[in-house]
Chains A and B, each alone.
Chain A
């Protein structure tokens, strides 16, 4: 087929199954927008390229497919840097397509030239700059393959304008996913033996289990062995919160039973997880009595932070299926469960209502979870509200919680919700956002309004950069330097802002109105809805392991250190 580089690009995207692109046109990428005009691929015109990148991430995580974003050269491309870094940290499969200045002027500081390949080298899995239009279909196929195979991640395709404009013939790309790694039978046997002889084992489950679609296998293996499960921030939903074997989230703001299970274990079965510092606390004091089985598709993660006694390179789904096949009997874990069960009873998640009579933020999130249910998708920004969204929403299925874990990118929630809703139009999508985060990316609500993407946004408006304020409360003697936002004084007025952006704006300040307001928001189906939940500013996220301390110092609340006191 005779076409141009641009025509080949759009045709190749169609052929690899791309159904939506989040992007914004501009000089260098303009040739690509012409064939896109006639394509069956949907284009969502964002208001800022960062929104396009996070939307691609939200789409990818809601659907399990590759998300695509597109931007012009220079500032368009550099606006994608944050989402690329975010996707790299959280292993999200996205392909970013950027325009570039013409080949003849690359390297001359031409108008809107930025060396985006070099800029993004440490935050992309791979990148391409195409110099021959005939290569475009192959490069697009490879980019999709690289983004989604092995450990997923972001791939950049940089396209000089003249390459897009040059005539070429189209050859359909071949999409061949590389085979999954073959498991070592010896390591599987060694792992099974360790599991069989352990007295205090725990499944330490990370986001890799969600990426590999292994939730079913996890449930089977957990039920077969009766071993307790903890799910990290990136793995919320990989195992049902309602399941009796589930102890919740470990880490800095994890539950006491989940943290205790890791600290007191004699065996960690780590699946698709990377021993992140927010989970381990002070590394030398992490899980001091435990042997470690570590399964991950990325060999570079195994023994990176904590030495594995048995390392298994493989896809989590294959690893768990193989383990299920060789483990036939339950070991007696009565004593272990007696200990953990005691903690579950003594230290459930809980919160106090603010003394000043304002709304408890945790209550708002609890009610959204109750009324929207486990079939909804929840996204979060970064801060206190994110931790409460991880703690107080009850997740029952993988892909139902989408947040920025590794990078901690404020402003993630709204554009990620937009992408998730685009990929899952029949689900209710709630963005649980902070008043600080919301002000970074709320312009994408104009996109949602214009495109008919009816997301719901719950602003947990505590008037402050709450998480930073929490650290000031605990570690800086309450010296609140530059954390007050003025959002309680209506700077800005979120209801009016929502209205101006083409959304329904609601406000809720009283406990008696919470359910009614959530239901009112859920009844709106033709437009996005923003609810300004005005909540108290002094609520703190508990439990907490202070940065730089060991997990044994976990505080269930201020001054209450259950594990530390246990030892004395």
Chain B
């Protein structure tokens, strides 16, 4: 298992969050924590998640799969930032 922290920008459309959560469960991704909040732009929400990946699955692959979701506008891997924050 490898742990990753991702930050997504989602369109504020009904079902957007459900589609992300289903993607996690369909692809065998373990969700450790998840928080949704309005983004600066009113028509977008920001979703922060910490996920555990199965051995052999890469975060790059997961980011690309999230990128296929029509309501996802942007995905960034914050794993590194997190480590710095925790280390500080």
Contacts and interface: CB of A to CB of B under 8 A. Distances in A.
B22 A299 contact: no
Interface string B15-30: 1001100110010000
Nearest to B71: A126
Interface string B50-81: 00000000101100110110100000000000
A146 B68 CA distance: 11
B15 A298 contact: no
B23 A122 contact: yes
A125 B70 contact: yes
B15 A146 contact: no
A126 B18 contact: no
A121 B65 contact: no
Interface in A89-144: 117-118, 121-122, 125-127, 129
Nearest to B58: A303
B70 A146 contact: yes
A126 B14 CA distance: 12
Given A117-B15, A129-B14, A304-B61, A122 B26 contact: yes
A260 B15 CA distance: 46
A123 to B, nearest CB: 9
Interface in A458-517: none
Given A300-B65, A303-B61, A121 B70 contact: no
B88 to A, nearest CB: 34
Nearest to A153: B68
Given A300-B61, A304-B61, A121 B18 contact: yes
Interface in B1-35: 14-15, 18-19, 22-23, 26
Nearest to A303: B61
Given A126-B70, A129-B14, A146-B70, A121 B64 contact: no
B23 A299 contact: no
A276 to B, nearest CB: 16
B61 A121 contact: no
Question: Interface on chain B toward A: helix, strand, loop, or mixed SS?
Answer: helix
A121 B67 contact: no
Contacts of A121: 15, 18-19, 22
Given A122-B23, A122-B26, A300 B68 contact: yes
Nearest to A118: B18
Nearest to A283: B56
Interface residues on B, range: 10 to 19
Interface in A285-320: 298-300, 302-304
Contacts of B64: 299-300, 302
Contact of A129 (B15, B23, B60, B70): B15
A298 B68 contact: yes
Contacts of B23: 122
Given A121-B22, A122-B22, A122-B26, A300 B15 contact: no
A300 to B, nearest CB: 4
A472 B22 CA distance: 36
Contacts of B19: 121
Contacts of B58: 303
Q: Which of A127, A129, A298, A300 has the most CB of B within 10 A?
A: A300
Contacts of A300: 61, 64-65, 67-68
Nearest to A129: B14
B44 to A, nearest CB: 17
Contacts of B65: 300
B64 to A, nearest CB: 4
A5 B4 CA distance: 45
A125 B65 CA distance: 11
Contacts of A117: 15
A186 B15 CA distance: 38
Contacts of B67: 299-300
Interface of B: 14-15, 18-19, 22-23, 26, 58, 60-61, 64-65, 67-68, 70
Interface of A: 117-118, 121-122, 125-127, 129, 146, 151, 298-300, 302-304
26 contacts: A117-B15, A118-B18, A121-B15, A121-B18, A121-B19, A121-B22, A122-B22, A122-B23, A122-B26, A125-B68, A125-B70, A129-B14, A129-B15, A146-B70, A151-B68, A298-B68, A299-B64, A299-B67, A300-B64, A300-B65, A300-B67, A300-B68, A302-B64, A303-B58, A303-B60, A304-B61
Which 5 residue pairs spanning A and B have beta carbons closest together? A300-B64, A121-B22, A126-B70, A122-B26, A300-B65
Given A121-B15, A122-B26, 11 more contacts: A117-B15, A121-B18, A121-B22, A125-B68, A126-B70, A146-B70, A299-B67, A300-B64, A300-B68, A303-B58, A303-B61
